[in-house]
Structure 1
Amino acid sequence: WERGQGWERGRGRGRGRGLEVALGRRWGWPWGHGWRRKCSIVVVCIVLCVVGKLPAQWPGTCLSAKPVFDATSDTLSHLFKNGLQIVTRNTLKGSVRKGVISQVAQTFHDSQGLVHWLKQKASSFESIKCRGNIQVWAVEGQVILISVCDGPLLPTLRLIHQWPNLVPKLRIDRGACTHVLSGANIMCPGILREDLKATDVGQGSPVVIVAEGCSHGMAVGLTRMSANQMLAKGRGVGVTNVHYMLDGLWNF
């Protein structure tokens, strides 16, 4: 065996060598022949050690980094342009369901009615994991909550239309409505200043976008800066448009 005479002659010596024997039986050289086998194993171990030390963000590595939530990232826009690409779909049970309901109570304002409703709909409360590190929650097949990259919970527009006071509202000029309904982010000059003065939302907070003179939300977004910063700066993107009417999530 040690002189490279193959599996059949080295069967006795090869017993108990686990992975080496299995690889030698199936593939032969370089795994099954003496010093070549040993050198190949050493090379493979060195390569695995080197690859394991590479940054996970480097392209071309076999390691995949889990994206970190960033409220200022452009990747939060147009998430649902092509709908939801579902990976897993499960009904929430026990402590997991209670944890989500508790998070809802802590995240949203005036959520007592929503919490009571979720407890009543426990049998149809689902968790849906999708591609792009997107997770949504649905009740009776209707998506009501969103989370991207383990970020804060966001209500969908259908949930907002039932409970309109869950998150702060920001009104925008009517001229910006067409752009917002096309998925564009909300710029600071387009947000009414009186709304910014009346709210104290911070960076990364969920908000509902409402057209001036209307009462129903048309988009749900995340603030890229606080209300005070929007007032002081007066330019740039103020709110990332995550979900808007007639996008893939609305039509799901």
Structure 2
Amino acid sequence: MFKKESVSINTNYIPAPTKPLDRFVPGSRSKVKSSAQRAIRAKVLETYPKLEPHLDDILPKKEQLDLLKIPDRVSLYCLGGEPLFWQHMDDPVIPHLKVIHKYPWAFPRIRIDRGAIRFVLSGATLMVPGLTSPGGRLPGDDEAGEEYGNGGNELEAGEVVVVEAEGKETACMVGVLKMGTQEMKEKKKGPGIENGHYVGDGLWKLDLN
């Protein structure tokens, strides 16, 4: 399980003063048109092809999908009272962590070391040193029964990635890569993910019931 911890200053991690998903008051809620709902299903399948066997369970064709507006131009797609996917402007459609926890094998992933956990859970920008340290994992750092990246392949900047944590069973964050994993290995510094969705943020705590 993850819990929030106090944060000390560390130059490898950059606190973000305000992020779209940290704390927010939900805005308007509306029904998604059937044509738009089909487009969302297609985009989800295109981005996460391993979800195909379960797509009808996640996004049933005959169920009504709702759109909830979040500040800073974030759209949250919900089914009943359950948040499923979110999208910032025209960025990729990103799954809610609860979807990831249910289908963890369906998404590209990397791993942070133990020392980075408290910074991620405080909303700080995820920096590359937390991924290239001995406890971190990037594609090519595979262990027995564990394969990182996308089927072991390198990930490019702009791709959605799930962030696991050393010693934890479930993912703690999901977001869009600021730089590719090969570049991370070469530079070993810089921001890895900004404005991700993490355990304990406003999206995680959101109650739609």
TM interval, shorter chain, is: 0.7 to 0.9
Look up the equivalent residue of 1:100 and give its one-letter code.
I
The Cα of 1:194 is off from its aligned counterpart by 4.5
Tell me which amino acid in the other structure corresponds to 2:161: V
* Residue equivalent to 2:94: 154
Shift of residue 110 of structure 1?
Answer: 0.6
Q: What residue in structure 2 maps to residue 143 of structure 1?
A: 83
Q: Whose RCO is larger (CA < 8 A, sep 6+)?
A: 2
Secondary structure of 1:127's partner?
strand
Checking the alignment, whether the CA contact within 8 Å between 1:219 and 1:245 is kept in structure 2 is yes
Match of 1:223 in 2: 177
Matched, 1:92 2:32: yes
Q: Is the 8 A contact 1:189 1:234 kept in 2?
A: yes
Unaligned runs of 5+ in 1: 1-73
Pick the structure with more helix per residue: 1
Shift in CA distance, 129/182, structure 1 to aligned 2, threshold 3 Å? same
- For residue 206 of structure 1, the aligned residue among 143, 160, 163 is 160
Deviation at 1:139, TM superposition (A): 1.3
Max Rg structure: 1
| In 1, Cα distance between equivalents of 2:48 and 2:165 | 22
Partner of 1:245: 199
Whole-angstrom distance in 2 between the partners of 1:113 and 1:128: 26
**What one-letter code is carried by the residue in structure 2 that aligns with 1:215?**
E
User: Which residue identity does 1:117 align to in structure 2?
Assistant: D
* Between 127-136 and 189-198, the greater mean CA deviation after superposition: 189-198
Task: Provide the C-alpha distance between the structure 1 equivalents of 2:84 and 2:59, rounded to a whole number of angstroms.
Answer: 14
CA distance in 2, matches of 1:109, 1:200: 17
Partner of residue 23, structure 2: 82
What SS is found at the alignment partner of 1:217? coil
Q: Note the aligned Cα RMSD (angstroms).
A: 2.2
Distance 1:119 1:131, change over 3 A: closer
CA contact 1:146–1:155 (8 Å) conserved in 2? yes
C-alpha separation between the residues in 1 aligned to 2:153 and 2:188? 16
Q: Quick one: which of 216, 234, 240 aligns to 2:188?
A: 234
- Distance in structure 1 (CA, Å) of the matches to 2:25 and 2:196: 13
Residue type at the aligned position of 2:52: Q
Map residues 109-124 of structure 1 onto 2, 5 A cutoff.
109-120=49-60, 122-124=62-64
Check whether the contact 1:201–1:227 (CA below 8 A) recurs between aligned residues.
yes
Asked if residue 101 in structure 1 is aligned to residue 64 in structure 2, the reply is no
Look up the equivalent residue of 1:83 and give its one-letter code.
F
1:147 Cα deviation from its structure 2 partner: 0.6
With structure 1 as the length reference, what TM-score do the two structures score? 0.65
Distance 1:129 1:224, change over 3 A: same
Shift of 1:135: 0.6
TM-score by length of 2: 0.77
Q: Provide the residue aligned with 2:119 in structure 1.
A: 179
| Equivalent residues, number | 178
Shift of 1:239: 1.9
Query: What do the CA deviations read for 1:163-189 (whole angstroms, capped 9, x no partner)?
Result: 113321111110110111001111111
Deviation string 1:46-85 (CA, Å, 9 cap, x unpaired) is xxxxxxxxxxxxxxxxxxxxxxxxxxxx99x721222343
